[in-house]
Structure 1
Amino acid sequence: MQSTPNYLWELDDKLGQGATATVYKARNKKSGEEVAVKVFNNTSYLRPYEVQMREFEMLGKLNHINIVKLFAVEETGSTKQKVLIMEYCSSGSLLSVLEEPENAFGLSESEFLIVVQCVVAGMNHLRENDIVHRDIKPGNIMRLIGEDGRSIYKLTDFGAARQLQDDEKFMSIYGTEEYLHPDMYERAVLRKSHQKAYGVTVDLWSIGVTFYHAACGSLPFIPYGGPRNNKEIMHKITTEKPQGAIAGVQKKLKGPIEWIYDLPVNCRLSEGLKTQLKSILPNILEADQVKCWSFDQFFVETNSMLERMVIHVFSLPQARMLKIYLHHYNSVGMFMETVTKQTGVAPERQTYFCEGHLYPISPTWQVLQLSKTTEQYPLILVACESEGPMGVAYKDPALDFPRFLHSVEVSFDCSVAKTVVSAVYQTLRVTQSLLTCQEFILRGTYWLIESLKAECCRIYEKKSAVMSYFKCLVNAENRNTRLYNTVYKVTADVKEMQEHGEFSRKLQAISTALSSCSHSSEKESMLGFMLLEVSKDQDHIRVNRSISRIDQCLQKMQLIFKQFKERKSHPKLSYNEEQIHKLDKINLANLAKKVLTIFQDEVVQKYQTTLQGHSSKMRTIAEIQNHLGLVNGYLVDCDRELRSYEETVNSTVDRLSQRMLQLCLTHSNHSNISSYHSPTQEDLTLRMLKLRDQMKSVSYELEKNNSIIDRLSVPSSAGI
């Protein structure tokens, strides 16, 4: 037991150990409050006194939620050795989080964004106080859980920190080699002397490596054999990295370096967030300190990324989930352009469903006006594109399953067991993604078919209204013809007769167009059949037990892995312990095979079947949409022609009425017309008035049909 006047701790309660100090979990003697106590070793006292005091001074200046708090500086009872009493972070470090099998391929998107937000805020506080940390790495970023259940990450270990303004340089070497700036690495690790001085941006390099590690679960620069075993190639990778590259790997001894420009497919971040990161990482993972971003630019770009809101979209054409990151003040037009970049669906072709209903949007809106979305309730983009669905992008988890050696090597077996459990976690996540994809494929298809069925009914009603309209105009044309015949028994007007013939031919053309607008009951039946099929598939998805079965295997494998970790601390096993260890290896391998069998036979096969069926349904839906679009187009054209013809009919009736009156007057004033056997003026007038009354009733019917057609002429979903 060790103690100071106010705190005590046991040497077994070790939290971490570095080159110059060890950190223990301690308790306040009065309150029992848990704290962390940093006890310096003899090596630390070999440093100059001002260097020893630097950490005390640095922590005394800092006060921020993302910086580990310094409570007190006390002395131990026996040796009078100074120790730091600091805030205790109960959830370990970011490194311990990344070392969990669950995070072998990087953090979840939400957790990664919390890491970025906390590190950026903490570093901003350091720069406001002109402090350079010089040892940023996951092991020096502590974690605790806040009252809201969210993680809070805090920068710690300021033993290497010092006061340094933006334009100042330093020459001393500090840091951890995997996260060390290449210029510092050359001198500290390769022991090559040079006259280079270092500025505050060396912290940006360490942050870049840390962010990549948190996003992918591995370091960005890996020579063959590992960074610690191939130091020359490690330096070569970091210094020769091409512009825009964010990682480099050497897979064979003396082999070429493979430059990586994108985050890996098995990274848990969405394409939307990857795009944001790809604009930041290359500019802070820059060996040339002159070309590297300044901290001001880094803060601007990272805060811009963190301030964006996310819009969840499931693209039915591509059968994949999207996360669109935009500022709340951006326009919906920008949102649609971003969707186009990720899907290839042009803005004018984008139609969305929100909870089963068509969701009209305007490019002039701000994205803040869009309905709030989540991963469970995204907007669903529907558009029938010619290319088939892409589906979920994933790496086959089977490629990440290693094999155990037959011999018993506890340390190696523990490492393999961790890799196997990590691969199962990844398999479980891919399974969840594939099942979620199927769920949204069926949900979106169901809504789309329902919408098309409603569209069929609407177009059928519209066609009925247009047909009624057409029949009214045919009646009007018949009455119009009788007026013509009455007029032309008295006199013939060649021009009038030609115009009347042209109107009749136009009406016949409209009749031909309407006959081509046949309402296909076969297509409506096809939609009903697909709807039934989709409903059955939805029922199958709901009862799928693949996730629970894989999770059960995972829980058993976790227990075995826990046993392996315990044996790793005591590698010399007795005979009986060795036999149990062998059986555990067999059991772990069998569980891994079971997981792969479930994944391949029950998940992937059904997913591929769903994807193929989706591709076929989308082609059928596209054909029906095209058909409905053509029919709707014909009806719109017919309606326009009929309205034009109605105006012609009305004007013709008025003109003929005037003509009839003129003929009557001419008949009474010219005696040479008496030879004709013509009606009297009174007869002509009465006939004209009777026909006009008939035309009024026709006009009433026309107006009634027009109102029906106008009501049905709403934006059509047939163009989806």
Structure 2
Amino acid sequence: MERPAPKQNELCGSWEMKEKLGMGGFGNVYLYQHLKIALKLCRLELSQKNKDRWSREIHIMKKLNNVNVVQAREVPEDLASIALNDLPLLAMEYCTRGDLRKMLNKPENCCGLKESEVLALLSDIGSGVQYLHENKIIHRDLKPENIVLQEVDGKLVHKIIDLGYAKDLDQGSLCSSFVGTLQYLAPELFESKPYTATMDYWSFGTVIFECICGFRPFLHHMQPYPNKYNIIDLLFFSVRETKTQLPLSALRKVWGEAVSYIRGLKEDYLRLYQGQRAAILSLLRYNSNLTRYKSVLLSQSQQLRAKLAIFKTSIQHDLEQYTKQTDTGISSEKMLKTWQENEKKVDEFMEVADVSRLDDEIVALHSEIVELQRSPFARRQGDVMEQLENKAIELYKQLKAKCPDPPHGYSDSSDMVGTIVQMVQNQDRVLKDLYTHLSKILICKRRIVDLFPEVEGAIVKIKASNAEVMQMQLKRQKEFWFLLKIACVSGKPLINSHTHTHTHTHTHTHTHTHTHAHTTL
């Protein structure tokens, strides 16, 4: 018994018909809300042959179970009553993101999908086709309209639908019936030759080509533009000859290429901006390392300067005292010469400890880096580009909306060319500023790289000077203790051997001791 087609918001038990999703080869697809399922109803006007195909589609769908093939569901009892012509209903999972054709029709995809999206499609549908073939089934009608998208755990999954033309190969591996959609058919079908499961590979390859390029590779008279036009040449021609009228059939594709070109300019800037951010982060890491080196340098320098100040004060005092007592006390030319040399070395070590030049250079470099961070060019400047991209997309939408099907008529490209010119001018200005900013970053980084060996060398010299000062001080301490030992043995102040020589045996003994000390020191 024939029944009228369901109406929107019509209730069937606890189920409400929300909308008509589309149509397949033999039936219309409706969305019923209660649980999220899609319901496919057979058309009223189907021939007996197509009714058999309808039943076969339901049979095939119910026995399949793969994540990349739309799953069949049990028809709820409340909905069984709406079946038409007493043919069974087909209940399927509802894929909320629509079909691949809907995605390809978006202006931003007019020149093809992103590489990551194409790779995901290849993986999913390739897996689904392989599953069908492993189960002895040829789909025979692969096209963007028969690939739907479902979001699963935040990831888009592609699924094959509409097995109305599917062929079960249990009865033999060769087929000969002419089915499918012309733009995606394998050559053997046009030549009325027998075919196998490989026809699905041809259709799938054609779909992938369209997803990459934005247009189908074959049957150009069914393309949205004639094959005789070269799109890139037409785009350049449109820019040069803004007011020249072009066929709408060609212009639509030219403007699609223009949208892609404008988006490419924006993405070029964004990539360079990301590179600039990476460069400034790298510069900051280098600067952080230089800051640590500077801290070590200043610390070592301060320690050395403090030791040198004490050492110099002490040795100057010792030299003064030595001069005062030479006529009545101890004299040692060797010790005196050593002390005088040490005094000169202190001045040399003071020069080593002086790192003011390096410190000033590092401070100046830090200031430049802070200015680079505060620079307006360090912040994203792509807002105007995004506005122009959106304007180009809107122009493309308007052109597409006014194109009849099939497209005919003529129009010029003045609006789109104006947008292209603005985009190029804006990109030139922004890139010039960004390149200047980036060059300053690289110069600062180069200066830091050049400073590292200087700072490291200064630290090594300071440490070596520090160690030598300690050795000089240790030697002086040994000299004093040796003199103290001599003084303790003599029991009285020692006199110069050259002045007092013949007075007493005891004195002679002490003079001999003094001479020995003079030689040792």
State whether TM-score is above 0.5. yes
CA 78–530 in structure 1, closer or farther in 2 if over 3 Å, else same: closer
Quote the residue 1:465 is aligned against.
299
Quote the residue 2:386 is aligned against.
547
- State the shift of 1:624 in Å: 2.5
Letter in 2 for 1:675: T
- State the shift of 1:625 in Å: 0.8
- State the shift of 1:407 in Å: 6.8
Separation in structure 2 between the aligned mates of residue 186 and residue 431 of structure 1, nearest angstrom: 41
**1:538-581 deviations in Å (ceiling 9; x for gaps):** 498559534224424532542342122xx326x79xxxxxxxx7
Separation in structure 1 between the aligned mates of residue 449 and residue 35 of structure 2, nearest angstrom: 75
Separation in structure 1 between the aligned mates of residue 342 and residue 122 of structure 2, nearest angstrom: 73
- State the shift of 1:138 in Å: 3.1
- State the shift of 1:645 in Å: 2.7
Separation in structure 1 between the aligned mates of residue 36 and residue 201 of structure 2, nearest angstrom: 39
Letter in 2 for 1:59: M
Q: Is residue 414–residue 568 contact of structure 1 (8 Å, CA) maintained in 2?
A: no
- State the shift of 1:59 in Å: 0.8
Separation in structure 1 between the aligned mates of residue 116 and residue 456 of structure 2, nearest angstrom: 47
Letter in 2 for 1:228: L
Q: Is residue 238–residue 417 contact of structure 2 (8 Å, CA) maintained in 1?
A: no
* Matching of residue 431 in structure 1 with residue 266 in structure 2: yes
Matches within 5 A, 1:120-519: 122=128, 133=139, 136-143=142-149, 151-158=156-163, 159-160=165-166, 162=168, 170-172=173-175, 185=186, 187-188=188-189, 210-211=207-208, 213-217=210-214, 226-228=217-219, 413-414=248-249, 416-421=251-256, 423-424=258-259, 426-428=261-263, 430-431=265-266, 433-435=268-270, 437-438=272-273, 441=276, 462-475=296-309, 477-478=311-312, 479=314, 510-515=349-354, 518-519=357-358
Separation in structure 2 between the aligned mates of residue 86 and residue 501 of structure 1, nearest angstrom: 102
Quote the residue 2:457 is aligned against.
634
- State the shift of 1:475 in Å: 4.0
Letter in 1 for 2:59: E
Separation in structure 2 between the aligned mates of residue 141 and residue 44 of structure 1, nearest angstrom: 27
Quote the residue 1:56 is aligned against.
58
* Matching of residue 100 in structure 1 with residue 102 in structure 2: no
Separation in structure 1 between the aligned mates of residue 356 and residue 133 of structure 2, nearest angstrom: 72
SS in 2 for 1:568: coil
Stretches of structure 1 lacking an aligned partner (at least 5 in a row): 220-225, 231-250, 254-394, 573-580, 682-720
Letter in 1 for 2:57: E
Letter in 1 for 2:405: K
SS in 2 for 1:106: coil
Instruction: Decide which structure has the larger Cα Rg and report it.
Output: 2
- State the shift of 1:647 in Å: 5.0
- State the shift of 1:632 in Å: 1.9
* Matching of residue 610 in structure 1 with residue 434 in structure 2: yes
Separation in structure 1 between the aligned mates of residue 275 and residue 31 of structure 2, nearest angstrom: 52
Separation in structure 1 between the aligned mates of residue 33 and residue 452 of structure 2, nearest angstrom: 80
CA 532–552 in structure 1, closer or farther in 2 if over 3 Å, else same: same
Structure-2-length-normalised TM-score: 0.65
Letter in 2 for 1:15: G
Quote the residue 2:502 is aligned against.
none
Which of the two has greater helix per residue? 2
Quote the residue 2:467 is aligned against.
644
Count how many residue pairs are aligned between Structure 1 and Structure 2.
Answer: 473
Q: Say which of 35, 59, 62 aligns to 2:39.
A: 35
- State the shift of 1:592 in Å: 0.2
* Matching of residue 568 in structure 1 with residue 405 in structure 2: yes
Separation in structure 1 between the aligned mates of residue 57 and residue 215 of structure 2, nearest angstrom: 30
Tell me: higher relative CO, structure 1 or 2? Use CA pairs within 8 A at least 6 residues apart.
2
Letter in 1 for 2:269: L
CA 37–397 in structure 1, closer or farther in 2 if over 3 Å, else same: farther
CA 77–135 in structure 1, closer or farther in 2 if over 3 Å, else same: closer
**1:257-295 deviations in Å (ceiling 9; x for gaps):** xxxxxxxxxxxxxxxxxxxxxxxxxxxxxxxxxxxxxxx
CA 62–143 in structure 1, closer or farther in 2 if over 3 Å, else same: same
Separation in structure 1 between the aligned mates of residue 343 and residue 139 of structure 2, nearest angstrom: 90
SS in 2 for 1:25: strand
Q: Is residue 184–residue 206 contact of structure 2 (8 Å, CA) maintained in 1?
A: yes
